[in-house]
């Protein structure tokens, strides 16, 4: 028995594995990796060179190699597979669950995909995968697998256990059995626990639950994740428009979806245009970050041109420049806060949504309250510590209050509009909006100054 | 059969339910909610007033009421329970799984908790919950449940099925059976599928898998989530320091953990100090957001004071003011990008971590590359479009380059330091750092200007 074997995979082991590959010591490779979890072997291979990885995969049992490839990092998956012969690749993909096989094939061009599938030996598997490839990758159809146990409602427990036995090799994890009628329409669900506890002759129709939650093939994966989380499901049947059972989604797929979506949101919020991590190359990291930085820079240059219009006034009242960072920073902070709350509520839509008008009223009230508090505070500090006259302090306070209001408004409508037109609303908390809010803030500040100070 | 019954819970139904509560029409309440999923009933109750909720809960079957309370929003859970008699509360909590019961009890003060537990009828349940309450809420011990099936390795399949039958009422979901020795130490795991497929007389020790992944009670829940995601587990045994089996964690608990942690990170990044959503009250929303806004304001006021030092230079070269937003915004954007990449890599620690020095070198290289590109771009634009002399354009470019470098450095060390001292590193992408970067940017900008323009 071992407690999480991952901690045993040390840098020392990595080195001895590389030596074994060099010396073509097949025994060492096979024996030292025996019993190690596939996820850990995959993490190990991600550290090896391409040719070393290929060598290890070829040495290991084919089923194990297929499982490892599924767990590799996305970039490595494609690189490793491209090095293999087409027939070799087809053999490995055939050993995967249909959903994983389809994911892997999605890494290739359509022409390459068809070539690989034509090398399949198993007609059933190739049909299954071809079906899955038809669905959009981000929908229930795109993440479901064809491996599941279905039982006809007229069967008894023994017949069902025989079906499980027949499918045991294909379906690695069984949580529940989906119950269908003669037309393969989903009728309900029966847990494996109930099957175990029932007597052999019990009819499925006497023990299955009719209240089954299913999703249509076209449902977005983020919604699927929310359904599984909300209803505490470990496996979820997917049906087509005629309510025919076409696949199942398991909770481990959903964990990956949730992680992906959370990472995408954070990357959208921080203005990183590509999925990168610290271990990517300098060039890739730089390229992923430049676009948004350039947008910020262009915003800044526009802002410079804008302030330039007020050069004359600025040269009369230099103190105006002092509070530029205060105005722009507050606009940015308020905008990000508001939009992130809206994004969050878009992600977990309540059944009883408040009307749009009611939502805006609330945002407005919060903005007025916070704006008043902040503006009063700033007015006091500016009068007391910066020894300016009261009318100047008024300019800063009024501009600040207006910026809080406008930034709240922008932070509310932007994610809602983005969501409506099918763009990830988390982008609304990103640098694009911060830049827009900077410009709005500057405009408000100088217009208020112009009209109140008559400059 | 119904496809996700949630969509049927309309605003109209909510109104008719409220009328039925008013008229004390118990039949309507019981019949219309029959078969509706607990998560949906809970969402419905979250919309009702406190007294209406209590009325519905008292009308429903006690087990159903207990399940609904678990699914209520955290704030409502406490409010609803406080309205009940202690004995009523104790009866409901006894019907919950031990982990949910412990979570609910954690909402109360220690004195209240003891009072409630003393009203328990079931000694086993009260012992289980008292044990769980000993663990930190954010650790494996704090999220595990005491409901699981254990089988001695010397048992056969029939004995194991009898144990499942005996526990069937307590353990609602069975994925796997944990295998222990006579000292209750975890030896392995056997899937329910294997039990179904094995013959009655098969010994557990002949079919169980020894390669079981378990976690210690003190492991942080975020790490537990990562273990379950990485190894695709649906149930995870928890052991104490002597490797004795003490509980199990199921994947549905983990889905909630992942969501909570992602929300916490986003709220930390956006500077919202409390867990709020769009449906909270104006005062609560305002209070959650004010602290960070005030920090931003104080930063802005400090910045104003700081620019004030350079008033003389500024009155000579007014154009210096134009580029203040450019400098501060770029510093902020670079800082957020860098820190979010570092936070992400802290969350998914690789086994083979690059050394600190190597990481800094890479951050430095990316910063130099991006800094050079941005500075060159800005230099060109300023010379061409703003008709300033070359030395002024140099000031802006050099300041921009330095700010990119410094903000990258800050964005790298801040999350690492926060993580080391046990604070959520996502805070490093929040307004605090943006404010700090603003001030650093201003300092660099004016110091470069002073020395190059001799003002």
- Asked if A62 and A91 touch (Cβ cutoff 8 Å), the reply is yes
Token output for B297: 């304001």
Nearest CA among A57, A46, A131 for reference residue A95: A57
Q: How many CB atoms sit inside 10 A of residue A201's CB?
A: 8
| Residues B323-346, mean pLDDT to the nearest whole number | 85
pLDDT value for B2: 42
- What is the DSSP pairing of strand B245-250 with strand A150-152? unpaired
CA distances from B172 to A175, A192, B250, B271, B298 (A): 12, 11, 11, 40, 54
Distance (Å) from the C-alpha of residue B118 to the closest C-alpha of chain A? 31
3-state SS, residue B248: strand
Distance (Å) from the C-alpha of residue B88 to the closest C-alpha of chain A? 26
Write out residues 311-350 of B within 8 Å (CB-CB) of A. 311, 314-315, 318-330, 332-334, 336-337, 340-342, 344-345, 348, 350
Question: Which residue ranges make up each domain of chain B?
Answer: 8-136, 150-259, 282-453
- Asked if B297 and A371 touch (Cβ cutoff 8 Å), the reply is no
Q: Cβ separation of A1 and B270 shorter than 8 Å?
A: no
Return d(Cα A272, Cα B256) in angstroms, integer. 27
Q: Cβ separation of B186 and A1 shorter than 8 Å?
A: yes
Residues of A in contact with B270 (CB under 8 A): 269, 336-337, 340, 429
B270 touches chain A (CB under 8 A): yes
pLDDT digits (tens, 9 = 90+) for B232-244: 888 999 999 999 9
A48 touches chain B (CB under 8 A): no
Q: Cβ separation of A341 and B272 shorter than 8 Å?
A: yes
- What is the CATH topology of the domain spanning B282-453? Tetracycline Repressor; domain 2 (1.10.357)
Asked whether residue B354 carries a pLDDT value surpassing 70, the answer given is no
Distance (Å) from the C-alpha of residue A44 to the closest C-alpha of chain B? 9
pLDDT value for A3: 44
What one-character-per-residue DSSP string does B334-364 give? HHHHHHHHHHHHHHT--SSPPPHHHHHHHHH
- What is the CATH topology of the domain spanning A9-138? MgtE N-terminal fold (1.25.60)
Asked whether residue B407 carries a pLDDT value surpassing 70, the answer given is yes
Q: Cβ separation of A381 and B301 shorter than 8 Å?
A: yes
Q: Which CATH class is domain B150-259?
A: alpha beta
Question: pLDDT-based confidence at B8, cuts 50/70/90?
Answer: low
pLDDT value for B158: 92
Asked whether residue B415 carries a pLDDT value surpassing 80, the answer given is yes
Side-by-side strand order, sheet with A150-152? A150-152, A176-180, A186-191
Token output for A192: 């494996």
Write out residues 226-265 of A within 8 Å (CB-CB) of B. 227-234, 239, 243, 251-252, 254-256, 258-259, 262-263, 265
Buried b / exposed e across B437-448, counting CB within 10 Å, b at 16+? bbbbbbbbbbeb
Q: Is A238 left (phi over 0), alpha (psi -120 to 50) or beta?
A: beta
- Asked if B438 and A329 touch (Cβ cutoff 8 Å), the reply is yes
The position carrying tokens 């990119």 is B404
Closest Cβ–Cβ partner in A175, A197, A315 for B168: A197
Closest Cβ–Cβ partner in B35, B164, B254 for A211: B35
Distance (Å) from the C-alpha of residue B277 to the closest C-alpha of chain A? 6
pLDDT digits (tens, 9 = 90+) for B123-161: 989 999 999 999 998 899 999 999 999 999 999 999 999
pLDDT value for B137: 87
Return d(Cα B289, Cα B185) in angstroms, integer. 49
Q: Cβ separation of A252 and B266 shorter than 8 Å?
A: no
A446 touches chain B (CB under 8 A): no
Side-by-side strand order, sheet with B150-152? B150-152, B176-180, B186-191
- Asked if B343 and B426 touch (Cβ cutoff 8 Å), the reply is yes
CA distances from A266 to A275, B260, B263, B264, B337 (A): 10, 15, 10, 12, 10
Residue A138 DSSP code: T
pLDDT value for B349: 58
What is the separation, in whole angstroms, between the first and last Cα of chain B?
A: 80
Residues of B in contact with A307 (CB under 8 A): 321-322, 325
DSSP lists the bridge partners of residue A247 as: A238
Residues of A in contact with B297 (CB under 8 A): 326, 330, 374, 377-378
Comparing A115 with B169, which gets the higher pLDDT? A115
A455 touches chain B (CB under 8 A): no
- What is the DSSP pairing of strand B215-216 with strand B235-239? parallel
Residues of A in contact with B215 (CB under 8 A): 3-4
Contacts 24+ apart (CB under 8 A), B46-55: B46/B72, B46/B73, B46/B76, B47/A352, B47/B14, B48/B14, B48/B17, B48/B18, B48/B21, B50/B79, B50/B80, B50/B83, B51/B83, B52/B18, B52/B21, B53/B80, B54/B80, B54/B83, B54/B84, B55/B21
Q: Cβ separation of A35 and B211 shorter than 8 Å?
A: yes
Question: pLDDT-based confidence at B348, cuts 50/70/90?
Answer: low
Asked whether residue B16 carries a pLDDT value surpassing 80, the answer given is yes
Q: What percent of chain B has pLDDT over 90?
A: 39
Q: Cβ separation of B215 and A251 shorter than 8 Å?
A: no
Residues of B in contact with A231 (CB under 8 A): 37, 39
- What is the DSSP pairing of strand B150-152 with strand B176-180? parallel
Maximum distance among all Cα pairs of chain A, rounded to whole angstroms: 95
Q: Which of A247-261, B265-279, B350-364 has the highest mean pLDDT?
A: A247-261
Residues of chain A with pLDDT under 50: 1-7
- What is the CATH topology of the domain spanning B8-136? MgtE N-terminal fold (1.25.60)
Return d(Cα A385, Cα A206) in angstroms, integer. 80
pLDDT value for B6: 44
Residue B220 DSSP code: B
Q: Cβ separation of B324 and A324 shorter than 8 Å?
A: yes
- Asked if A440 and A407 touch (Cβ cutoff 8 Å), the reply is yes
What one-character-per-residue DSSP string does A24-37 give? T-HHHHHHHHTT--
B356 touches chain A (CB under 8 A): no
Burial (CB count <10 Å: 0-12, 13-18, 19+), residue B162: exposed
pLDDT digits (tens, 9 = 90+) for B189-199: 999 889 888 88
Residues of B in contact with A382 (CB under 8 A): 301
A150-252, superfamily in CATH? CBS-domain (3.10.580.10)
ipTM > 0.95 for the complex? no
Q: How many CB pairs under 8 A join A and B?
A: 408
Q: Cβ separation of B258 and A263 shorter than 8 Å?
A: no
| Closest chain B residue to the Cα of A230, Cα to Cα | B39
Residues of A in contact with B44 (CB under 8 A): 351
| Residues B372-380, mean pLDDT to the nearest whole number | 93
Token output for A300: 């800044």
- Asked if A299 and B333 touch (Cβ cutoff 8 Å), the reply is no
Q: Cβ separation of B297 and A35 shorter than 8 Å?
A: no
Nearest CA among A439, A410, A447, A407 for reference residue A298: A439
Residues of B in contact with A6 (CB under 8 A): 230, 351
B205 touches chain A (CB under 8 A): no
- Asked if B192 and B177 touch (Cβ cutoff 8 Å), the reply is yes
pLDDT value for A6: 44
pLDDT digits (tens, 9 = 90+) for B41-67: 998 888 888 899 999 999 999 999 999
Return d(Cα A158, Cα A346) in angstroms, integer. 47
Which of A41, A169, A304 best tests the B interface by mutation, with the highest count of B CBs <10 A?
A304
pLDDT value for A73: 82
Helix (H) or strand (E) holding B320: helix B319-322
pLDDT value for B1: 37
What does residue A216 show for φ and ψ, rounded to 5 degrees? -80, 155
Contacts of A438 (CB under 8 A, 6+ apart): A299, A300, A303, A328, A331, A332, B325, B329
| Closest chain B residue to the Cα of A5, Cα to Cα | B213
Return d(Cα A296, Cα B120) in angstroms, integer. 61
- Asked if B192 and A196 touch (Cβ cutoff 8 Å), the reply is yes
Count of CA atoms in the C-beta half-sphere (13 A) of B19 = 7
CA distances from A258 to A239, A336, A444, B266, B347 (A): 22, 22, 40, 14, 15
pLDDT value for B77: 87
A35 touches chain B (CB under 8 A): yes
Residue A427 DSSP code: G
Token output for A333: 């902070």
């Amino acid at each position: 028995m071992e407690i999480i074997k991952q901690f045993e995979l040390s840098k020392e082991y990595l080195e001895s594995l590389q030596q074994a590959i060099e010396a073509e010591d097949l025994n060492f490779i096979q024996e030292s990796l025996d019993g190690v979890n596939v996820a850990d072997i995959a993490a190990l291979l991600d550290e090896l060179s391409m040719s070393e990885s290929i060598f290890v995969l070829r040495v290991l049992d084919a089923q194990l190699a297929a499982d490892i490839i599924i767990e590799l990092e996305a970039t490595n998956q494609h690189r490793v597979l491209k090095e293999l012969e087409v027939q070799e690749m087809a053999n490995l993909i055939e050993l995967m669950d249909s959903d994983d096989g389809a994911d892997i094939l999605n890494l290739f061009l359509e022409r390459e995909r068809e070539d690989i599938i034509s090398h399949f030996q198993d007609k059933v598997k190739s049909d299954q995968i071809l079906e899955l490839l038809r669905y959009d990758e981000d929908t229930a159809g795109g993440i479901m697998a064809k491996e599941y146990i279905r039982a006809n409602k007229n069967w008894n427990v023994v017949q069902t256990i025989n079906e499980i036995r027949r499918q045991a090799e294909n379906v690695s994890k069984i949580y529940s059995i989906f119950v269908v009628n003669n037309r393969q329409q989903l009728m309900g669900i029966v847990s494996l626990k109930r099957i175990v506890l029932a007597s052999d002759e019990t009819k499925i129709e006497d023990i299955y639950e009719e209240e089954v939650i299913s999703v249509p093939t076209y449902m977005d994966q983020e919604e699927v994740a929310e359904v599984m989380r909300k209803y505490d499901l470990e496996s979820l049947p997917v049906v087509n428009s005629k309510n025919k059972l076409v696949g199942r989604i398991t909770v481990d797929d959903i964990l990956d979806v949730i992680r992906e979506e959370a990472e995408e949101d954070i990357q959208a919020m921080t203005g990183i245009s590509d999925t990168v991590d610290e271990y990517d190359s300098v060039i890739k990291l730089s390229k992923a970050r430049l676009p948004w930085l350039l947008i910020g820079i262009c915003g800044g240059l526009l802002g410079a041109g804008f302030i330039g219009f007020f050069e004359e006034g600025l040269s009369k009242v230099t103190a105006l420049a002092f509070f530029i960072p205060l105005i722009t920073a507050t606009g940015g902070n308020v905008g990000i806060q508001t939009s992130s709350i809206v994004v969050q509520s878009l992600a977990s839509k309540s059944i009883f949504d408040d009307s749009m008008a009611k939502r805006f009223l609330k945002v407005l009230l919060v903005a007025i309250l916070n704006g008043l508090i902040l503006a009063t505070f700033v007015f006091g500090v500016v009068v007391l510590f910066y020894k300016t006259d009261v009318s100047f302090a008024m300019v800063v306070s009024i501009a600040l209050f207006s910026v809080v209001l406008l930034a709240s408004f922008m932070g509310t409508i932007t994610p809602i509009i983005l969501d409506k037109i099918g763009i990830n609303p988390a982008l609304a908390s990103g640098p694009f909006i911060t830049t827009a809010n900077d410009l709005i803030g500057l405009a408000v500040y100088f217009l208020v100054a112009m009209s109140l100070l008559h400059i």
